[in-house]
Structures are given as structure tokens and as C-alpha cells.
Chains A and B, each alone.
Chain A
Amino acid sequence: MGKDVLTGVHFLSGNHACAEGAIAAGCRYYAGYPITPSNEIAERMSWRLPQVGGIYIQMEDEIASMAAIVGASWGGAKSMTATSGPGFSLMQENLGLAVMTEAPCVIVDVQRGSPSTGLPTLVAQADVMQARWGSHGDYATISISPSSPQECFDFMIKAFNLAETWRVPVVVLSDESIAHLSERVVIPDKSEIKTVSRKVATGPKEGFLPFKAGDDLVPEMPIAGSGYRVHVTGLTHDERGYPDLSHRVHEQLVPRLVNKIKQNADKIIEYEEFMLDDAEVVLVTFGVSTRICRHVVKRARMDGLKLGMLRLITIWPFPEQRVIKLAEQVKALVTVEINLGQLALEVERVVKGRTETYLIPNAGGEVHDPDMVYARVKEIAQKS
């Protein structure tokens, strides 16, 4: 057997770091389909997983890839796939299946210029809303977004831990720039990596209710073949798992699926605050744009401009409370993202006029020009 945690200092691309992070988190099943710019994740998994006793399968498309990881998850494995925008679109129906059957799994979406084939080899951050609402119906999942290869490694572990804890698909919103950026990545000792596994059903097999949840709204998960009688379905189901196509059961099931994320949002949400204490204007950003915004904040501070940054680590659920609190303190919130205003809609929604909100958009293909962002921020600061 090969080593599952490659402890040491490495020079890795974001994609390779994602693969190593997944393996360190305990992922032993990968199903995927080639798509630029996510291929290096699949390539590394195809030789690393066999070394650690895992399985790499290349599927015939993204529909099948997503379905396979739902199956693997129910089979007891920590499973994942990686793709980009167009492939993520094809995964959406089965992502809904993962939500409905509460199958923990991780999807890495390496975002590229879009819509359609768009800019296959260039950066964008335009899948924010697809990650939230891509599948049909009411549901809630978790999305997190790394801004460096080191974070690709760390956040993959975080993603698996969140998926296993809350029994939801977790989307890692990477992007082409981070995916193909190579930097120093420190992989810690195996004993220092905290991994979480799903609550496994261990109680009596007679009368077992696979979809009965406790206070945290997350049911225990039986492992296929461990002797529990299990009925798993994408239809609306009762606590036994059997389809019950009634308003009454639907009214219990779907709100629970949404509430297990909503109620536990405080335990899930993470963000990074940069020079916020006395900030008058705050940049709200995530992913690769964090790097540009951090630079702009430092530069503004040298010029005496009170700029700060709220960098979202968790995109979904959106950190509503933090943004509301911030809106009450500052003169303006400026969303910087490589799309034409997706996260900005959330900011506006929760701010509800408490402060001025602005967007510095970018259709994709390149990250923001820091000079342009700084010039725009100076204008905004003068106005507010």
C-alpha cells in the first residue's frame, strides 16, 4: 500500500492539491469525466487511488459520474467527483438525488468562463448560483471556495468533513486560476489531520428507521451490506425510507433537508476578516479574487484609506448574520467577483438598504486588475 498522507512540503498545483486533500480526508472513490480545467484532479486520482486501495472510475459522462458517487456513498465510501461548469450542469439532477437520499459526497467545480463552452481554459467565478440552485426544487447544500493550492488541500478535508457531518453534497468552488497555480503546499502529519466520518447506524436492526433524525436533523446512515433493511429513493419518503407521496410527509421531509443546513449554519459557516475593525468600506469576495482584494486593501491602507475585506470561505450557506452586522457599521459593501453579479445579489438581499452596496463585476477570462479595483474603490469611498 502507498501512503495516503504525503506529509512534507510540496510544490503543487491547486488541482493536484485537491486530489491529495481528498485522499488525506479518506476519499477512496472517484468517478469522473474529462473536462478542462479539472483534468489534473482525475489524472492524479487515477494513479493515487489504486496505491491506497481506492477506486478510480472514468464514467461515460457527468450524469453517470454524479450518480456513481451517490451509489458509492451509500456503499459506505467517501466519494467525490470533479468537473467544470458544463459538467456541473449535467450533474444537477443527481445532485438533487444526493440531497434527497442524504448521501454525503464532494463535487469539485473548477469554474471556467461561461455560459456553454465559454472559455474552457480561463478563469471565472460564475457558478455561484448554479452551486446553490442548479438542481430543481427547494434544497440546501454547502459550498466552500479555496483561494490557493494550500487551501485546495485543506478545504478538501473540510469539504469531506462537512459532507459526512451533515450528510449533504458539498461543492468545492475552485476556479481555473487556482487549479493551475502551483505554490508551496504543506501537508501535515497524518495525526494532525482531523477527519470526520458519518454517524453510522449501530442500533437494533429490527424496526430501524433510516430516515429518522435527532436534534441536529441528521439521521444515522446504515452501510449497505451491514444487515439493516434499507430502502433508498428519490421519491418523497417517510422515516422508514418508503415512498409516501403525500403533502403531509413532503411537508416533513423537505423542510428538514433545508433546515439541517439552515439551523446549523453557525456551525458550518467560516469566513476570513481582513482589516475590518475600523473599515469604512469593505470588499466582499471569495476564491481567487481574495488575492486581488487583499492586495487592494493593503495598498489602500498605505494611502490612509480605511478599506477592509470580508472573504467568504463558506459561500453557501451565505453568512447572513455577519454581513448584516457589517452593514450596520460600514459606509459601503463592495462585492468583487468574476461574474456579472451573483454573490452581490445575496449581499443586497441581506443588507436591505442598511448601507450602500456596489459590485465590481468581471465577465471572466482574467482575474480583476488590482489597479482597476483600487480606482473604483477610491471613487466609492469618496462618494460614501
Chain B
Amino acid sequence: MLSKEEIKFEKITAKNLPRESLISPGHRACQGCGEILAMGMVMKAAGPNTIVANATGCMEIVTSPFPETAWRVPWLHVAFENTAAVASGIEAAIQMLYKKQKIKEKPNIIAFAGDGATADIGLQSLSGALERGHNFLYVCLDNEAYMNTGIQRSSSTPYGAMTTTSPPGKKSIGQCTWKKNVAMIAAAHNIPYVATASPGYHLDLMNKVRKALAVDGPAYIQIFSPCPTGWRSKPEQSITLAKLAVQTGVFPLFEVEYGRFKITQKTKELKPVKEYLQLQRRFRHLGEDDIAYIQERVKAEFERLKALASLDA
């Protein structure tokens, strides 16, 4: 759906930042969890008139058990593979209630799922929901492995990373495949809005959520979510990592608005990936050759993204 149309939305700035936190403190997330931080930002941008469907995963576990229940909006825990499908059902029911004038205002519908629940087991259900065109936002909180079950690799785990099921050693470098690019897969569905975001850039993240909720139809946002527990990084460096991933081009920020690609990060001259890799013990077994290999790939991917963005400039 290529269109020159601009998405109209209420912009968030440092001055009008929503005060209300819809995920209350006192939840069970680990120190320095980038994922809960990102989810809190999404909810701030979305506001209280929101229904959440949440896949099984860290965020479900840390925010739901009584008395640490953190949600201040209606919340539905689903299984692992079906977040987008359940959100589809919620959306269809809301549409019907609205049509019958049982409700005056349509609430936002947000599906939260981790990278495993999105890139692996839930990909089919996500694709189905995007194809059917439900008016909802799917947020993938991408911490690059199955952290809830004990740091097993997913198809979103980056090349070379150590996890409990991609152990590095004589026979293996660790994760031996490249990270699956689900944002591009979502964009291939020709939905109105796709974006990547990082909690290191909170205003950018929140405005992307506002845009995603403003469009009529499905929207997909993939949020980079540092995980000190799984990445073997220092909890106080989560934001540093969230920024470095963007600045090195490991996780570039972009959006696809009605089919038009746009790079949304200020850093166009990338920093060396080594600066990002060396802060995480999941990469500590990598040698200079391996790092050079990753650097080459990151550069090539960023060039490709720039070429896509130049198509509609």
C-alpha cells in the first residue's frame, strides 16, 4: 500500500510526556531489564484506554502474579504461539460492539510478545493477523533469546551469541545463523506501519507507538530489549547497550510508513560493532576474525537499508 499520506498523531515531546505509568512498579523483572522499560514506554504512549494480549514469556511472568500484578489496563495472558490470533479475536469483537453502538470509543489493542513468540512459534499467527488487516498493534519485545525458560537460542538470536542451546566450543561458534529480520517480514505484508525502536531513544519509541496506533489497520513494532541476565552484561549498561546497538548499526532504527522506508536514527556514520559486542559476555569467545565478519555483515545490511530509504526520498 504505497501512499504519500502522512500519519496524523499526537506527538510526544519531553514537555508533554505522559505522567501516568500503566505498568506499576513492584513487578518482578530483573535489575536493568530493558524489556520492562520498553513495555512501560509503549503503555505510556498508548494510554489507559487499551486492551493488552500478552504471550507467555518474561513479561507475562514478571508482571502478573499476585501481589506483584503490575497491569493497570485489561490484560489477557494467552499461550505462546497465539498472541496475534487472540488480538484478532479481541479486535473483531470490539469492531462489532462499536458497530452495534454498545461502545462509544474503540480502545487500542496491543499484543505483546517476545522474540521467540514472534519470530519462531508465533510467526504464523502474526502473519495471519497482519494479512487479515485487524486494527491492532503488535509489539515484539526482542531480547534475542528465550530468556524466560533459561536463555535458549531463538531465530532472533544474533550470530555468534552464546546461549544454553548454542554453546560455543570446538565444534561451534555459538549461534551459527543470522538474526531473522521480522520487521522486514512484517513490512512484506504491506501493512500501514512497521517500525523498529529502542528504549535508548525513548521519545522516538513512544512516537512510533503513537503513529502505530493512529493508523487504521495492523502495525508492527520491534523493540530492542537488552537483557543483562541473558546477555551476561552489566545491569547498569542496558541503556548504553540499547543506544550502542543503534549507533553501531546492529539494530538500526527505521520505519515503514505506508510502504515508504525511512531511517529514523541520527547516527548515519556507524560506530564499530566491537564497542557493542565487548560489553556482553555472550560474545566474549569471539575472536577478531569473527568480529570482522559480523562488522562486514552489519555494514552491508545498513547500506541495503539506506538504499531502501532512498527509494522514496
Measured CB to CB, the residues of A under 8 A from B are: 33-36, 39, 42-43, 46-47, 50-51, 56, 58, 60-61, 86, 90, 116-117
Contacts and interface: CB of A to CB of B under 8 A. Distances in A.
Interface in B151-207: 152-153, 155, 164-167, 169, 171-172
A61 B119 CA distance: 10
B171 A56 contact: no
A34 B149 contact: yes
Contact of A117 (B79, B123, B155): B79
A117 B155 CA distance: 23
B79 A34 contact: no
Residue picked from A33, A34, A46, A47, most chain B C-beta under 10 Å:
A34
Enumerate the 4 nearest inter-chain pairs by beta-carbon distance, A residue then B residue, closest first. Answer: A61-B121, A34-B152, A50-B171, A60-B120
Nearest to B164: A43
Interface string B71-86: 0000001011100000
Contact of B165 (A35, A36, A42): A42
Interface in B200-224: none
A42 B152 contact: yes
A311 to B, nearest CB: 31
Interface in B9-24: none
Given A43-B165, A60-B121, A36 B149 contact: yes
A34 B165 contact: yes
Contacts of B166: 46, 58
Nearest to B81: A61
Contacts of A116: 79
A119 to B, nearest CB: 12
B34 interface: no
B287 to A, nearest CB: 19
15 contacts: A34-B149, A34-B150, A36-B148, A39-B152, A39-B164, A43-B150, A47-B167, A50-B172, A51-B171, A58-B153, A60-B121, A61-B120, A86-B79, A90-B81, A117-B77
Contacts of A39: 149-150, 152, 164
Given A46-B166, A86-B80, A117-B77, A33 B121 contact: yes
Contacts of B169: 47, 50
Contacts of A47: 167, 169
Contacts of A61: 81, 120-121
A46 B77 contact: no
A35 B80 CA distance: 10
Nearest to A48: B167
B146 interface: yes
Contacts of B116: 34
B80 A60 contact: no
A60 B123 contact: yes
A33 B153 CA distance: 10
Residue picked from A35, A36, A61, A86, most chain B C-beta under 10 Å:
A61
Residue picked from B116, B121, B172, most chain A C-beta under 10 Å:
B121
Nearest to B77: A117
Contacts of A60: 119-121, 123, 155
A5 B2 CA distance: 60
Contacts of A86: 79-80
Contact of A58 (B56, B80, B150, B152): B152
A39 B79 CA distance: 18
A234 B234 CA distance: 51
B99 to A, nearest CB: 31
Interface string B101-138: 00000000000000010011101000000000000000
Contacts of B155: 60
Contacts of A33: 120-121
A74 B228 CA distance: 42
Given A60-B119, A60-B120, 5 more contacts: A33-B120, A34-B149, A43-B165, A46-B166, A47-B167
A90 B81 CA distance: 10
B213 to A, nearest CB: 28
B38 to A, nearest CB: 22
B19 to A, nearest CB: 34
A33 B152 CA distance: 9
A64 to B, nearest CB: 9
B185 to A, nearest CB: 13
Interface in B48-89: 56, 77, 79-81
Contacts of B123: 60
Nearest to A46: B165
A260 B297 CA distance: 54
A89 B148 CA distance: 20
Nearest to A87: B80
Given A34-B146, A58-B152, A46 B79 contact: no
Contacts of B172: 50
B172 to A, nearest CB: 6
B75 to A, nearest CB: 14
A331 B164 CA distance: 52
Contact of B152 (A43, A51, A90, A117): A43
Contacts of B80: 86
Contacts of B171: 50-51
Contacts of B150: 34, 36, 39, 43
A172 B261 CA distance: 51
A328 to B, nearest CB: 46
A61 B116 CA distance: 9
A47 to B, nearest CB: 5
Contacts of A42: 152, 165
A47 B152 CA distance: 13
A50 B172 CA distance: 8
